[in-house]
Amino acid sequence: MSKIATLEFDGKKYEFPVTVGTEDEIGIDIKKLRGEAGLITLDPGYKNTGSCESAITFLDGEKGILRYRGYAIEDLAEKADFLEVAYLLIFGELPNKEKLEKFTHDIKEQSQVDEEMKKILDGFPKSAHPMGVLSSLTSALIAFNPSSVDVSSEQDMYNAIVKILGKFPVLAAWTLRKKHSLPLNYGDDTLGYVENLHKMMFEKPGKTYKVDKAVIDALDKLLILHADHEQNCSTSTVRMVGSSHAGLFASISAGISALWGPLHGGANQAVIEMLERIKEDGGDTHKFMEKAKDKEDPFRLMGFGHRVYKNFDPRAKIIKKSADEVLGKLGVEDPVLDIAKGLEKKALEDDYFVKRKLYPNVDFYSGIIYRALGIPVEMFTVMFALGRLPGWIAQWREMRLKKEPIGRPRQIYIGENLRDFKPLGSR
Ligand code: CMC
């Protein structure tokens, strides 16, 4: 039997249908609220607003559960590779061998970028942050692939999807190479997606490219852990921009900008910078904990807290274990790993953090692994974007296939009432 929610306002009762998800999450469908009762809901930061029904990712913040299309993140991180997970997120099922081969082939076919794009990249100063460059290049890609904007069939959509999956790693690698004055290169068709990305980022002119398998495995796992996270800030941005039918690449470009911020994906860079600062300051974690708790001080413990996870972030658990393994395998000793562990221990015992249910999030330990893999700090958030790309695509595709209406929230106006205009001379 379908459930009904009743709202009483100004002595009148209104009934609204209730939607129940497959994991028993309940949402009141308030589409008719304004039409019937003249009311809107007010929820800055959308802390309690469901923007869509989605079949892609399930997460339970209280229990620390994360699943892509019904598969536990722990299983996928351990047993699948990044392109399999990308296929799963986008198309809903794990691919069989033939489907994965075709998908991989179609992506490889699209891994060239128009040479003219190099001129655009050339216009950026070397000091430019890679996230800004990547967002701009992704947007510029539209000019060279105009057919990717108008997606009137699933085939059009598929073509746009394999194009962005093919070209995005090239753009990401080029942002790094430009910063480090290395020649812009292309990948190698014989390598897997992640190894190819790594090669494009790190191969040196005149040197044979070689990489430890442990590096590629660790990178693959990190990309999987970041691949989707339901309606977070950047994904909501992708869906919002896509809802105006601006096209996949424009939507992704906007998502990259949203991800850049330190409260979202930019936290991975901010965490390492914070840990370095603590180390240089003598390693006094207590002092920084006190700063984070002081409401007069803008300092926050980066990599801690999450809008949805109020128990633990399952990605952080996997990454913490992985950090120990990767650093061990590669023989890397990083003093900030000990500082991070000390900080975590203190925070988990501290009243302020316990009361507010603040736990380490995905970004707390990821930077330590990226650094051990030789990835420069300013590229950390780009790595997050590379991982999140399949999630953004899946969410955009779902939104377009469901023919969702353009995103357009309402507001409660709190400004001036009607005023008489005064000419410039009399103000
Ligand atoms: N350090 C100190 N205090 C914190 C922190 C922190 N990292 N995070 C939250 N708080 C406090 C906050 O001041 C507030 O206290 P009070 O109730 O006394 O006003 C309370 O905890 C609730 O915080 P909030 O800002 O209302 O929570 P939110 O859901 O709006 O923000 C967050 C979530 C992730 C933006 C926030 O926890 C934060 O800024 N964390 C640090 C940045 C970070 O690590 N971001 C990465 C998120 S995970 C990767 C991703 O998917 O983007």
| Percent share of the chain, pLDDT over 90 | 89
**Which of 232, 256, 306 is the best mutation target for the ligand 1 pocket, counting ligand atoms within 8 Å of the beta carbon and taking the most?**
306
HEC profile of the chain: CCCEEEEEECCEEEEEEEEECCCCCEEECCCCHHHHHCCCCCCHHHCCCCCCCCCCEEEECCCCEEEECCEEHHHHHHHCCHHHHHHHHHHCCCCCHHHHHHHHHHHHHCCCCCCCHHHHHHCCCCCCCHHHHHHHHHHHHHHHCHHHCCCCCHHHHHHHHHHHHHHHHHHHHHHHHHHCCCCCCCCCCCCCHHHHHHHHHHCCCCCCCCCCHHHHHHHHHHHHHCCCCCCCHHHHHHHHHHCCCCCHHHHHHHHHHHHHCCCCCCHHHHHHHHHHHHHHCCCCHHHHHHHHHCCCCCCCCCCECCCCCCCCCHHHHHHHHHHHHHHHHHCCCCHHHHHHHHHHHHHHHCHHHHHCCCCECHHHHHHHHHHHCCCCHHHHHHHHHHHHHHHHHHHHHHHHHCCCCCCCCCCCCCCCCCCCCCCHHHC
Q: Taking residues 267-277, what's their average pLDDT? A: 94
**Cα–ligand 1 centroid distance for 196 (angstroms):** 36
Q: What is the pLDDT of residues 18-48, one digit of tens each?
A: 999 999 999 999 999 999 999 999 999 999 9
Q: Does any ligand 1 atom lie closer than 6 A to the CB of residue 315?
A: no
Q: Does any ligand 1 atom lie closer than 6 A to the CB of residue 264?
A: yes
Q: Quick one: angle between helices 193-202 and 154-179, nearest 10?
A: 30
Residues 6 or more apart in contact with residue 82 via CB below 8 angstroms: 193, 194, 220, 223, 224, 227, 387
Cβ–Cβ < 8 Å for 256, 386: no
Residues in a beta bridge with 17 = 4
What is the predicted pLDDT for the residue at 3? 87
Q: pTM of the prediction? A: 0.95
Polymer length of the chain: 427
Q: What is the pLDDT of residues 59-95, one digit of tens each?
A: 999 999 999 999 999 999 999 999 999 999 999 999 9
Please tell me the distance from the alpha carbon of residue 423 to that of residue 327, in angstroms, as a whole number.
68
Q: Does any ligand 1 atom lie closer than 6 A to the CB of residue 361?
A: yes
Q: Residue 170's Cα: distance from chain center in Å? A: 19
Ligand 1 atom at minimal distance to the Cα of residue 364: 44
Q: What is the pLDDT of residues 396-410, one digit of tens each?
A: 999 999 999 999 999
**Cα–ligand 1 centroid distance for 305 (angstroms):** 5
Vertex 138, ends 385 and 389: CA angle to 5°?
Answer: 30
**Cα–ligand 1 centroid distance for 310 (angstroms):** 11
Place of tokens 């994360």: 66
Q: What is the pLDDT of residues 296-321, one digit of tens each?
A: 999 999 999 999 998 889 999 999 88
- Asked if pLDDT for residue 211 goes beyond 90, the answer is yes
Q: Taking residues 273-298, what's their average pLDDT? A: 94
Q: What is the pLDDT of residues 99-152, one digit of tens each?
A: 999 999 999 999 999 999 999 999 999 999 999 999 999 999 999 999 888 898
Please tell me the distance from the alpha carbon of residue 233 to that of residue 171, in angstroms, as a whole number.
23
Residues in a beta bridge with 133 = none
Active site residues: 306, 363
Please tell me the distance from the alpha carbon of residue 393 to that of residue 22, in angstroms, as a whole number.
23
Please tell me the distance from the alpha carbon of residue 7 to that of residue 28, in angstroms, as a whole number.
11
> Counting beta carbons within 10 angstroms of the beta carbon of residue 297, is it exposed (0 to 12), middle (13 to 18) or buried (19 or more)?
exposed
At 1, the pLDDT band (50, 70, 90 cuts) reads: low
Write the CA distances from 254 to 44, 130, 264, 313, 379, integer angstroms. Answer: 20, 14, 14, 26, 18
Cβ–Cβ < 8 Å for 260, 131: yes
Judged by average pLDDT, the poorest of 99-103, 196-200, 334-338 is 334-338
**Cα–ligand 1 centroid distance for 352 (angstroms):** 12
Q: What is the pLDDT of residues 252-269, one digit of tens each?
A: 999 999 999 999 999 999
Judged by average pLDDT, the poorest of 26-40, 159-173, 229-243, 362-376 is 362-376
- Within 10 angstroms of residue 348's Cβ, the number of other Cβ atoms is 14
Q: Whose CA is nearest to atom 21 of ligand 1?
A: 356
- Within 10 angstroms of residue 121's Cβ, the number of other Cβ atoms is 19
**Cα–ligand 1 centroid distance for 82 (angstroms):** 29
Q: Does any ligand 1 atom lie closer than 6 A to the CB of residue 259?
A: no
Q: Whose CA is nearest to atom 41 of ligand 1?
A: 302
Q: Taking residues 1-11, what's their average pLDDT? A: 91
Sheet holding 26-28: strands in order across?
Answer: 4-9, 12-20, 26-28
Cβ–Cβ < 8 Å for 327, 316: no
Enter the tokens of residue 129. 């942050």
